[in-house]
Amino acid sequence: MRVLIPYIKRYKWDAIWATVSIVFQVFATLWQPRMLQTVMEAIMKQDKATVFNYGIGLILLAVVGIIAGIINTVYSARLALHVATDLRADLYDHIQSFAYADIEDFSASNLVVRMTNDVNQVQQVVMAAFQQVTRIPLVFAGALALALTTMPEQWWVIAVMMVIIVGVGLVTFKTMSKYFAQTQQDIEDVNTLARENLMGIRVVKSFVQEQAQITGFAKTSDRLRDVTAKIGELFAVLMPAFFLTANIAVVVSVYIVGQNVTAHPTYLAAISSFTSYLMQILFAVINASFMMTFASRAFISMGRIREVLDHKPSMHFTTAGPATVPGDITFEHVTFTYPGDKQPTLQDVSFTAPAGSMIGIVGATGSGKTTLAQLIARLFDPDSGRVLIGGVDVRELPEATIRNAVAYVLQRATLFSGTIAQNLLQVQPAATPATMARAAEIAQAAEFIERLPETYDAPVEERSANFSGGQKQRLAITRGVIADPEILILDDATSALDARSEKLVQEALDRELTRTTTVVIAEKIASIIRADQILVMDGGRLVATGTHKQLVQSSAIYQEIYATQKAKEGGVANV
């Protein structure tokens, strides 16, 4: 509950009104049977005035109860909605502070479930709490006290009923709690499978894996169904058991009254009030049971939410430091191991790249090329050694400085739903149409953007499904260059472009971004053949550096890569 207390305090007046109104509603609920008892006694005495007066009183009491119920529902709903909205926003904000490793640790689908399903569970329990938490003890205590004062001789009927109901409830809800925890996990698994399938639908279709996907999804979905069915079966037994116990208590009470009606004729009027209080006690226990159910699920959800909110980002940024840095890059004996791995991905890597130069990185798959680039952008921190930008250790630079200085364009272009202009403005909020046009010309994206009726206001659909692979890559490069970064990292970012477009992009980068240090990770030698310095990676180590001509002469690994590509392509453009 400590997660919710600060949020409830923000809306204390909603909480106060919800609580005060429930007190009036409970009073109206409890006092109606007592007034009905008085009416019944007046009827037996043929006292028409008392019947009329108390009849009017019953109507007024009902109106008070209805108004109080409406007020309680409105303010409980407002409070629950505000708490859920703020909690979801704070979760999202906190996740934005996570390092890349933190996101990987939780997984994207896991975090989505926590921001949606878990927060919804909390919203439901907050509303139920302010509708029932105050009501339940007041109704229970009031009904119990009034029942005992109405027919004190039948206290034992109430006691036996309570023992049976509470015993059945405790046993049942203890079993349910473990099923609720499993339900949350199964929902998360179903969401993960659905997300992976829909995002990878092209692969599924290409390899005719529809049936395998259906089988895997059905297995997980069936597990969720089975757990939910077990919860439903427990409820199916629980509710009849409660009502059976209460009805037996009513029958026993009526029988006892019938046996003693001659000695106590007033019991005829009291029995209706007594049975009403019995049922109110029952409903209080039932509502408490439901609250236990909601609470058990919500406590699991709150624990999962608290786990995210309490998680400290694995990477911290200083607030002091230069606002800008030049684009020279230095690695000093850098070693890095991914969390959970035993073997380092990078080992003792050292090199220097002057500002404004072009750096190419080549090597076999898994040699550490992308990892090296991620350390430049400080998506991870090295285990040992230092990564410097402009002569300053990246760990001593503010986050804004790094993000303004380094632009990272991935092979798999990720564009956000909205418009082309909105995607570009994410990087450069002050960008003008002329700035966008210049960036698009550099990335060779202008030719297809200007053919669109809306040009830069053209929509970008979810996962940019309305653009081809090459168009997405060119838009991603446009976004990367629009702010004139000090360092531009192209992680195989031209792989979907044809040779002509790739050449035009490289020429435009050389011509327009003269002071930008360009780091190009490429599988093709042709993409980095004109680089000022080429880094050859193998097994996480930097095994050779130099220009293309130098490496062709001195590096066996580079020679092998070059020879293989030359044989496949019939030669690599202009050595």
- The pLDDT value recorded for residue 333 is 92
Phi/psi zone of residue 462: left (φ > 0), alpha (ψ -120 to 50 degrees), beta? beta
Question: Which is higher by pLDDT, 434 or 272?
Answer: 434
Q: Is the pLDDT of residue 19 over 80?
A: yes
Whether the pLDDT of residue 574 is over 80: the answer is: no
Is the predicted pLDDT of residue 222 greater than 60, yes or no? Answer: yes
Rounded Cα gap, residues 175 and 192, in angstroms: 27
At 269 the pLDDT is: 66
Residue 571 pLDDT level (bands cut at 50, 70, 90) = very low
What's the fold here for domain 5-309?
Answer: ABC transporter transmembrane region fold (1.20.1560)
Nearest to 555 by CA among 569, 534, 539, 571: 534
- Whether the per-residue pLDDT at 48 is higher than 90: the answer is no
Answer with the residue of higher pLDDT: 161 or 174: 161
Position 260 confidence tier, pLDDT thresholds 50, 70, 90: low
Domain boundaries, the chain: 5-309, 329-414+485-569
Pick the CATH number of 329-414+485-569 from 3.40.50.720, 3.40.50.360, 3.40.50.300, 1.10.3720.10: 3.40.50.300
Lowest mean pLDDT among 191-200, 419-428, 512-521, 529-538: 191-200
Q: What percent of the chain has pLDDT over 70?
A: 95
Sheet holding 541-546, edge to edge: 406-409, 487-491, 517-521, 358-363, 533-538, 541-546
Please state, in angstroms and rounded to a whole number, the distance separating the CA atoms of residues 532 and 541.
20
pLDDT for 261 beyond 70: no
310 closest CA partner among 520, 91, 103: 91
Q: Is the pLDDT of residue 98 over 60?
A: yes
C-alpha to C-alpha distances, 259 to 71, 247, 262, 554, nearest whole angstrom: 45, 18, 8, 111
pLDDT at 109 over 80: no
Look at residue 177 and tell me whether its pLDDT is greater than 60: yes
Strand partners, 331: 351, 387
Q: What is the mean pLDDT of residues 444-451?
A: 86
Write out pLDDT tens, residues 56-82. 888 888 888 889 889 988 998 899 898
Question: For all residues of the chain together, what is the average pLDDT?
Answer: 82
Q: Is the pTM of this model over 0.75?
A: no
Mean pLDDT, residues 315-333: 86
At residue 329, the pLDDT reads: 92
Q: Which two three-digit tokens encode residue 446?
A: 């202008």
143-147, 268-272, 478-482: least confidently modelled range: 268-272
Where residue 330 falls among pLDDT bands split at 50, 70, 90? very high
**Which one is predicted more confidently, 302 or 519?**
519
pLDDT for 110 beyond 90: no
What CA–CA distances, in Å, run from 394 to 345, 356, 360?
19, 19, 21
Query: What is the model's pLDDT at position 267?
Result: 63
Per-residue pLDDT band for 265 (boundaries 50, 70, 90) equals low
pLDDT for 575: 44
Say if residue 572's pLDDT is above 60.
Answer: no
Q: Three-class SS string for 374-386?
A: HHHCCCCCCCEEE
Q: Which residue has the higher pLDDT, 232 or 521?
A: 521
Q: pLDDT tens digits for 363-419? A: 888 888 888 988 998 888 898 999 999 888 989 888 888 888 888 888 777 788 888
CB neighbour list of residue 494: distance below 8 Å, 6 or more residues apart: 473, 477, 501, 502, 505, 506, 522, 527
334 has pLDDT over 80 = yes
SS3 351: strand
Is there a contact between 477 and 513 (Cβ–Cβ < 8 Å)? no
Residue 568 has pLDDT above 70, yes or no: no
Separation in Å, CA 25 to CA 35, 227, 335: 15, 37, 67
pLDDT in tens, 449-501: 888 888 888 888 877 777 887 888 888 888 888 888 889 998 887 777 777 88
